[in-house]
Structure 1
């Protein structure tokens, strides 16, 4: 019976960690959905209407940010959109790992180390899930640097 309990605890901990990593990118759309849903409820909408408005707002936040991240060429804008999604996920990962490490690590220093590692890994996972739809571009030099030797006389071609 003890072995079954240990196996089930390990499986449940693995499923819980998988859920944290899988749902990390949805932290911001969830908070947007909850905020707009509560605002709609407070402004006089019914519970069903507020739920619908919140779901639409959260879904559109996720879709529009992924499209904006994939379509923009500006590195600064991409970093900003990525930070908007990664920082809340990293904070959530920090707190979840800190709470989970209180079960097994007696030292405060080790709990903080595990929590910081959890924050980095959950934030990185959220960043990678956001960039899933981004187009990969080859490294192409800009106009200031030439891309190789070019012909000096372009008007003189052979075999016209």
Structure 2
């Protein structure tokens, strides 16, 4: 049991790191969905109405971002859309890495160092994944042809 405990700790930390990197792309749609869902709940939509509105708002936020990347031809505007979606992922990466670092070490300076490195890693991953999801091929080629 004494050898299995540390192994399980490393596996769980690895799982949560993988989950963080995988779901970082969806930080802005989740934030928008939760915010609008709470707003709908507090204005009288009820629990199911709030959940339904949250799901629609999150999906719409993600779809609008993908549509913007597929249709916008100006590079600076595409970069702005990507930064708009990657910035919340950076904050989420910093917060998650800082939380893990607080459990692992006592020095606040080293916690911050590891949190910044984690935020940069999550930002790069979210940037690559978000741009990889954009429809570069058929949608833009059809629009270019007319």
**TM-score (normalizing by structure 1):** 0.79
Q: CA deviation at 1:136?
A: 5.3
CA RMSD of aligned residues (A): 1.6
Runs of 5+ consecutive residues of structure 1 not aligned to the other structure: 138-160
Q: Corresponding residue for 1:149?
A: none
Query: Structure 1 stretches (4+) deviating beyond 6 angstroms?
Result: none
Write out per-residue CA displacement over residues 46-85 of structure 1, whole angstroms, 9 at most, x where no aligned residue.
2111211110110111012012112211111111111111
Mapped contact 2:69–2:135 kept (Cα < 8 A): no
Task: Check 1:8–1:44 CA distance in 2 against 1; reply closer, same or farther (3 A cut).
Answer: same
Q: CA deviation at 1:86?
A: 1.0
Runs of 5+ consecutive residues of structure 2 not aligned to the other structure: 138-146
Aligned-partner Cα distance in 2 for 1:74–1:133: 18
Q: Corresponding residue for 2:93?
A: 93
Which residues in structure 2 correspond to 1:77-156 (within 5 Å)?
A: 77-135=77-135
**TM-score (normalizing by structure 2):** 0.86
Q: Corresponding residue for 1:42?
A: 42
More helix by share: 2
Q: Corresponding residue for 1:58?
A: 58
Mapped contact 2:105–2:111 kept (Cα < 8 A): yes
Aligned-partner Cα distance in 2 for 1:45–1:111: 42
Aligned-partner Cα distance in 1 for 2:35–2:95: 21
- Between 104-113 and 25-34, report the one with greater CA deviation: 104-113
Mapped contact 2:90–2:120 kept (Cα < 8 A): yes
Q: Corresponding residue for 1:9?
A: 9
Considering only CA atoms, is the larger Rg found in Structure 1 or Structure 2?
A: 1
Q: CA deviation at 1:133?
A: 2.6
Write out per-residue CA displacement over residues 86-132 of structure 1, whole angstroms, 9 at most, x where no aligned residue.
11111111111112112223332222211111000111111111111
Aligned-partner Cα distance in 2 for 1:113–1:84: 24
Task: Check 1:113–1:82 CA distance in 2 against 1; reply closer, same or farther (3 A cut).
Answer: same
Mapped contact 1:71–1:134 kept (Cα < 8 A): no
